[in-house]
Amino acid sequence: MASMLLSRQLTCCLQQNSRLLVFGHRYISQAAAKIDVDFDYDGPLMKTEVPGPRSRELMKKLNGIQNAEAVHFFCNYEESRGNYLVDVDGNRMLDLYSQISSIPIGYSHPSLIKLLQQPQNLSTFINRPALGILPPENFTEKLKESLLSVAPKGLSQVITMSCGSCSNENAFKTIFMWYRNKERGHNNVTKEELESCMINQPPGCPDYAMLSFMGGFHGRTLGCLATTHSKAIHKLDIPSLDWPIAPFPRLKYPLEDFVKENQQEEARCLEEVEDLIVKYRKKKKIVAGIIVEPIQSEGGDNHASDDFFRKLRDIARKHGCAFLVDEVQTGGGCTGKFWAHEHWGLDDPADVVTFSKKMMTGGFFHKEEFRPNAPYRIFNTWLGDPSKNLMLAEVIKVIKTEDLLNNATHAGKALLTGLLDLQARYPHLISRVRGRGTFCSFDTPNDATRNKLITIARNKGVVLGGCGDRSIRFRPTLIFKDHHAHLFLNIFSDILANFK
């Protein structure tokens, strides 16, 4: 199958690119009929192992000023295009990890280059305002063009933030304020509350909690970290909060063979959620909200059924808790819908939805009911960055024009089908193949095998990412097409065939 796919891919490439420009070792595809791939390269091109000598030299230098042990390699972003990441040793790799899922429409997209070249946009990049007090003239307009044009149903309000952690932190605060307002019956705040909050004590700082799931990841600042339970290294040595943690379903694959077991597993987890809410309330620690990822990403790409999430939403409503969906990694279109939770078909929308990464700016949507009742309650100096809103508006235009949500569904299907085929052929290496859109993953037998596969793939020109304790995750850009899927599958098929 592998060689068949390869020849199909090559034919397709040659058809798309009427002319090829030979430029040193690099092939730059010229303007073709399809505008969406005209800035992409036509395949990986490897010159050294990765990290190569130049990367290793730079790693040593960086390590002098900060711990650089997590660095994979150094990049040449000027030369990186579309789905291809070029490193400082001249290696060109098909990037299926896209900067931990944070490059929406590929590297060096012509629309973004054009945006930066327009003189009227310069000011937005160099004059960063304090958005909460002195916004630029086009602030509301740009939010409408960008974030609000893709707002989840029922969520009319939006606040921008600088990163994913700040988004979740401020979403928590919004939920706590909403809950307290509800609890005090919208009466005035007491003197005791105002005084006690200044010294971190109740009733001003009430003993509220967010319920989270084992395996979840919601960021690394102290509040977020109390809801993150993916890896010990994230949490070790950092003081935390006694907030309830429910089990997240551990589904068995293939799903069609374990329908009953998986239903029971999900029911068990949901029951535990309700028990925890009740148990914590008994010890006077009130669960004000529930936070969940549509697919637990850092924790190992753990999925649950749409039904699980609908029932979880019902439990939140039943107990008066806010329902917060963290779409920092799943949002932006990679699952085939703009927001992964839109697959669930909720009757009652989520209360708060957080985002970052592919959205280029952090922030969150919320229902009007959750609107802060006074200024400066959800606030900081920058409150995001209008230059990111400007770029996001352009990105969303490209997503719509090029129909990239349908592309994610389509390309994801090609990827998933290929992975299932590889799983059938190499069951000792690949298991639990799963995915929604291009948001795919599979398990390997163990951590060592996973890391070895990632390293080999990288040296063959494919950048992959790990998650959980032995999974490999796919987080390509939204311009990842069927032919990229086939290209990857061919390379990976060879790797598996030769794996020792």
Work out whether 127 is an interface residue with a second copy (CB under 8 A). yes
Judged by CB under 8 A, how many residues of this single chain contact a second copy?
Answer: 127
End-to-end CA distance of the chain: 21
Minimum separation from the CB atom of position 57 to a second copy (A): 10
Q: Which of 44, 82, 152, 164 binds a second copy (CB under 8 A)?
A: 164
Q: Which of 12, 45, 189, 420 binds a second copy (CB under 8 A)?
A: 189
For residue 321, the one-letter residue type is: C
Report the distance separating Cα 70 and Cα 241, nearest Å: 28
Q: Is 381 a catalytic residue?
A: yes
Minimum separation from the CB atom of position 329 to a second copy (A): 9
- Tokens 């070790």 identify what position? 236
Q: Is 351 a catalytic residue?
A: no
Work out whether 61 is an interface residue with a second copy (CB under 8 A). yes
Report the distance separating Cα 291 and Cα 176, nearest Å: 13
Q: What angle, rounded to 10 degrees, do the helices at 482-498 and 2-16 form? A: 150
Structure tokens at 96: 């299926």
Work out whether 397 is an interface residue with a second copy (CB under 8 A). no
Report the distance separating Cα 35 and Cα 53, nearest Å: 36
Minimum separation from the CB atom of position 207 to a second copy (A): 6
Q: Which of the ranges 161-169, 247-255, 272-280, 312-320 carries the binding residues for a second copy, by CB under 8 A?
A: 161-169
For residue 134, the one-letter residue type is: L
Structure-derived torsion over alpha carbons of residues 335, 469, 257, 314, reported in degrees to the nearest 10: -60
Q: Which of 75, 150, 398, 414 binds a second copy (CB under 8 A)?
A: 75
Catalytic residue among 39, 73, 172, 217: 217
Q: Which of 43/135 has CB closer to a second copy?
A: 135
Q: Which of the ranges 198-206, 340-348, 436-444, 476-484 carries the binding residues for a second copy, by CB under 8 A?
A: 198-206
- Tokens 């990111």 identify what position? 388
Structure tokens at 379: 């606030």
Work out whether 166 is an interface residue with a second copy (CB under 8 A). yes
Q: Indicate the SS3 state at residue 362.
A: strand
Residues 358-377 within binding reach of a second copy (CB under 8 A)? 360, 371-377
Q: Which of the ranges 338-346, 379-387, 399-407, 445-453 carries the binding residues for a second copy, by CB under 8 A?
A: 379-387
Contact (Cβ atoms closer than 8 angstroms) between residue 342 and residue 331: no
Work out whether 193 is an interface residue with a second copy (CB under 8 A). yes
Work out whether 201 is an interface residue with a second copy (CB under 8 A). yes
Minimum separation from the CB atom of position 264 to a second copy (A): 24
List helix spans (H) across 323-441: 386-401, 404-425
Q: Which of 115/304 has CB closer to a second copy?
A: 115
CA 30 to chain centre: 31
Strand order, beta sheet including 462-463: 84-86, 92-95, 462-463
Q: Which of 10/245 has CB closer to a second copy?
A: 245
Work out whether 200 is an interface residue with a second copy (CB under 8 A). yes
Work out whether 159 is an interface residue with a second copy (CB under 8 A). yes
Q: Which of 171, 270, 324, 391 binds a second copy (CB under 8 A)?
A: 391
Q: Is 438 a catalytic residue?
A: no
Structure-derived torsion over alpha carbons of residues 260, 266, 267, 269, reported in degrees to the nearest 10: 150
Q: Which of 183/421 has CB closer to a second copy?
A: 183
Q: Which of 67/498 has CB closer to a second copy?
A: 67
Structure tokens at 490: 């061919």
Catalytic residue among 89, 326, 385, 482: 326
Work out whether 22 is an interface residue with a second copy (CB under 8 A). no
Work out whether 481 is an interface residue with a second copy (CB under 8 A). no
Work out whether 158 is an interface residue with a second copy (CB under 8 A). yes
Structure tokens at 340: 């992964």
Minimum separation from the CB atom of position 353 to a second copy (A): 14
Contact (Cβ atoms closer than 8 angstroms) between residue 479 and residue 82: yes
Work out whether 207 is an interface residue with a second copy (CB under 8 A). yes
Report the distance separating Cα 167 and Cα 352, nearest Å: 11
Minimum separation from the CB atom of position 268 to a second copy (A): 18
Minimum separation from the CB atom of position 11 to a second copy (A): 30
Q: Which of 115/415 has CB closer to a second copy?
A: 115
Structure-derived torsion over alpha carbons of residues 48, 53, 58, 62, reported in degrees to the nearest 10: 100
Q: Which of 8, 26, 56, 180 binds a second copy (CB under 8 A)?
A: 180
* Overall size of the chain counted in residues: 500
Q: Which of 58/315 has CB closer to a second copy?
A: 58
Kindly state the DSSP code that residue 287 receives in the 8-state scheme. Answer: E
Q: Which of 24, 25, 186, 199 binds a second copy (CB under 8 A)?
A: 199
Catalytic residue among 357, 358, 367, 388: 357
Work out whether 461 is an interface residue with a second copy (CB under 8 A). no
Whether the bond between 206 and the residue before it is cis, its omega within 30 degrees of 0, is: no
Residues 225-284 within binding reach of a second copy (CB under 8 A)? 226, 229, 232-243, 245
| Neighbouring residues of 318: CB distance < 8 A, sequence distance ≥ 6 | none
Angle at 173 between CA 160 and CA 129, to 5 degrees: 30
Q: Is 482 a catalytic residue?
A: no
Which residues lie across from 87 on neighbouring strands?
75
Catalytic residue numbers?
217, 326, 357, 381
